[in-house]
A and B are shown apart, each in its own frame.
Chain A
C-alpha cells in the first residue's frame, strides 16, 4: 500500500536558519505529492505540491522537488521566521479521487 515517512520532530531552529524536513514515500505508479502546514488549533493548509517527477513546488519561500529516483519530496526553506512555527505534513495521492495518505507530521519551532 501507499505510505509516507517523514522525519520526526520537534525541529527547533533559530530565526533565519535553514530548514529541511525529509519526506520519502512508497507508492505504485506516479503519485502526486503535497506538503501541508497546520498552525496551532487549525486545519491544514496546502503549502505546495508537485504532480510529476522533477517538478518543483514552491510557496512562501518553501520548496520541494519530486524525486522519483529516491522517492523523496524533501521540504526546504532557506531562512525561517518565527511565523513558520507549525506542524508540517507530507502527503501523497496516487490517483484522482483517491484519499490522501499522510506522513506523521513534523513539528517545527522557530525561536527568535
Chain B
C-alpha cells in the first residue's frame, strides 16, 4: 500500500534557528501534499497545500515566510520552520494524495517539534 515517510519524528531546536521536515511518498507519486499542524488534544489544522513544481497555497492566518514549503519533486515535499520560536512547538503532519487512489490520502507519522 501507499506509504509516506516523514522525518524527523522528533526534533528539538533553539529559538531563532530553522528546522526542516521532510515528507516522502515511498511507493507512489504524490501530485499534492498537505501540511498540518496539530495542537495537543486537538484536531488537525491545515497549514498549506503544495503541488509539485508550483508554489504552495497557504491557509488563512499561516505565515508563508515563516513556514516555507517546497515541493520539488513528485515524491518529496519539505516544510521549513524559519526562525523558530517556542510557540511554534507543535506536532506537524504531512499527507500525500495520489489521484489513482481515488480520494486516498496517506499520512506521515508526524514530527514533534520542540523549540527551546
Contacts and interface: CB of A to CB of B under 8 A. Distances in A.
A107 B99 contact: no
Contacts of A100: 34, 46, 95, 105
A96 B105 contact: no
Contact of A32 (B97, B103, B107, B110): B103
Nearest to B2: A46
Interface residues of B, number: 24
Nearest to B91: A41
Contact of B43 (A32, A45, A89): A89
Nearest to A105: B43
B6 A43 contact: yes
B43 A102 contact: yes
Interface in A42-76: 42-46, 49, 51
A70 B114 CA distance: 42
Contacts of A45: 107
A70 to B, nearest CB: 22
B111 to A, nearest CB: 9
B49 A99 contact: yes
Interface of A: 32, 34, 36, 41-46, 49, 51, 89, 93, 96-97, 99-100, 102-105, 107
Contacts of B112: 41
Contacts of A44: 44, 93, 95, 107
Interface in B54-109: 93, 95, 97, 99, 102-109
B34 A99 contact: yes
A55 B63 CA distance: 40
Nearest to B111: A43
B32 interface: yes
B109 A43 contact: yes
A103 B109 contact: no
